[in-house]
Amino acid sequence: MSNFRIVKWDEDYRDDFIDLSLEWLVKYNVMEKKDMEMLLHPVKEIIRDGGMIFFALDGDDVIGTISMIKHSDETYEIAKLGVTEEYQGQAIGRFLIEHAIDWAKAKQASTIILYTIGILEAAVGLYESYGFKQVELDEHHYDETDMKMELVL
């Protein structure tokens, strides 16, 4: 993995963003309308309002992605974290999360939130290892989620 790097959104990665996200959304049967809006219109739904999408690359191959959705100047949401199955278990998710946290800190954010489902035990454990704590689920959650987590920076 010597050629591993993280890059910001580029239109060239649009199909990779869709494919990586669909890989786990379909696998766990958690696709909903809000997901499709983000996948089909990532600039409008994520980037235009101050968020960002990052990609993990091994050479020229896109192997993972993570999105940061801006809720306010202080709060960002981690969304659409996904690593292609071939690269799972190789700390790619960790690199993406660390990059997203560092990016939010550079933006002077005070809180990062995320919504997930309890059956994604590996993901929940990964988030907890970075200090994310489960908090009360609010009205902004996705239909298919049953858990909200928060990291105070």
**CA 22 to chain centroid:** 13
Residues with Cβ within 8 Å of 103's Cβ and at least 6 positions away in sequence, in order, are 52, 54, 68
Residue 11 vs residues 49, 55, 121, 144: alpha-carbon distances, Å: 17, 12, 32, 28
How many domains does one find in the chain? 1
- The type of residue at 26 is V
Comparing 8-12, 29-33, 88-92, the range with the smallest average pLDDT is 29-33
Can you give the pLDDT at residue 138?
Answer: 82
User: Who has greater pLDDT, 12 or 123?
Assistant: 12
What is the pTM assigned to this prediction?
A: 0.90
**Is pLDDT of 76 > 60?**
yes
The rounded distance, in Å, linking the Cα atoms of 137 and 77 is 14
Confidence of residue 1 (pLDDT cuts 50, 70, 90): very low
The rounded distance, in Å, linking the Cα atoms of 60 and 88 is 18
**DSSP characters over 47-102:** ITTT-EEEEEEETTEEEEEEEEEESSSSEEEEEEEEE-GGGTTSSHHHHHHHHHHH
Tell me the average pLDDT across 21-44.
79
Closest listed residue to residue 67, CA positions, set 56, 81, 57? 81
For the domain that residue 127 is a member of, what is the CATH number? 3.40.630.30
What's the domain range around 33?
4-152
Tell me the average pLDDT across 23-31.
69
Model confidence pLDDT, tens digit, residues 48-64:
999 999 999 999 999 99
The rounded distance, in Å, linking the Cα atoms of 153 and 150 is 10
User: Who has greater pLDDT, 45 or 27?
Assistant: 45
